[in-house]
Amino acid sequence: MKVDLYTAEGTSAGKKVDLPAGIFEVTPNDHLIYQAVVSEMANQRAGSHSAKSRSQVSGGGAKPWRQKGTGRARAGTNRSPIWSGGGVTFPPKPHKYKKKMNKKAKRLARRSAFAYKATEKQVYVISQPAFDEPKTGRLAGILNEMGLADQKVLFLTGEFEKNLYLSGRNIPQFVIKTAVNASTYEIVDCDALLLTDKGLEALTALLAEEPVS
């Protein structure tokens, strides 16, 4: 599959580049994409939620009132879950939500997500722009030149570029990452997948080594 190549300023370079078939032309596996997204979202949860049970709430040493003769319901402790300020029935406790996927399934999920983006004509390749200093306006201008200003863009580079990252962090609906670290969820969630030429090379080295599934 071929897509247009754009210059570092966002204009057409007048030529096309090949997208590796081992990544962008696989038969997508919807269930693995689902598993990967659930796993990635679950692994982001802190799991630090906590509440006290009736045995952990302070107070409750004395019976609030006598058992009979008051006209009120009997009560043995003010730590009861039905009392305001009492303990919680089956309270949440800190625990891990971590979900695991084997490496082969995780890689196929990512390739499936890339294949969907290619099928939907949402993949763009640009020559790596060089930033001597952070310039948000310049990067926004590149996106505008490519017609991506109003879309949610995932920008994948070959390696971390500090000035490029600082230029893009204040642009709405714009996420910049190294290609090898992009998650399945981030790929699925974007409207446009923008790859630098170096990012495409890194992605090819990482994912295109396995046979097409």
Residue 1 has pLDDT above 90, yes or no: no
Query: Mean of the per-residue pLDDT values for the chain?
Result: 93
DSSP for 33-51 reads HHHHHHHHHHHT-------
85 and 182 together in one domain: no
pLDDT in the model for residue 212: 44
* C-alpha span between 12 and 126 (Å, rounded): 9
User: pLDDT category, 208, cuts 50, 70, 90?
Assistant: confident
Q: Are 79 and 86 in contact (CB under 8 A)?
A: yes
Provide the domain limits for residue 80.
48-96
36 falls within a domain: yes
137 and 202 together in one domain: yes
pLDDT in the model for residue 20: 92
143 falls within a domain: yes
38 and 111 together in one domain: yes
* C-alpha span between 186 and 37 (Å, rounded): 9
pLDDT in the model for residue 169: 92
pLDDT in the model for residue 83: 94
213 falls within a domain: no
60 and 90 together in one domain: yes
40 and 128 together in one domain: yes
Quick check: pTM over 0.85?
A: no
Where do runs of H (alpha helix) occur along 44-179? 103-119, 136-145, 162-168
74 and 158 together in one domain: no
173 and 81 together in one domain: no
Q: Are 207 and 175 in contact (CB under 8 A)?
A: no
Residue 211 has pLDDT above 70, yes or no: no
Please state the rounded mean pLDDT for residues 151-155: 96
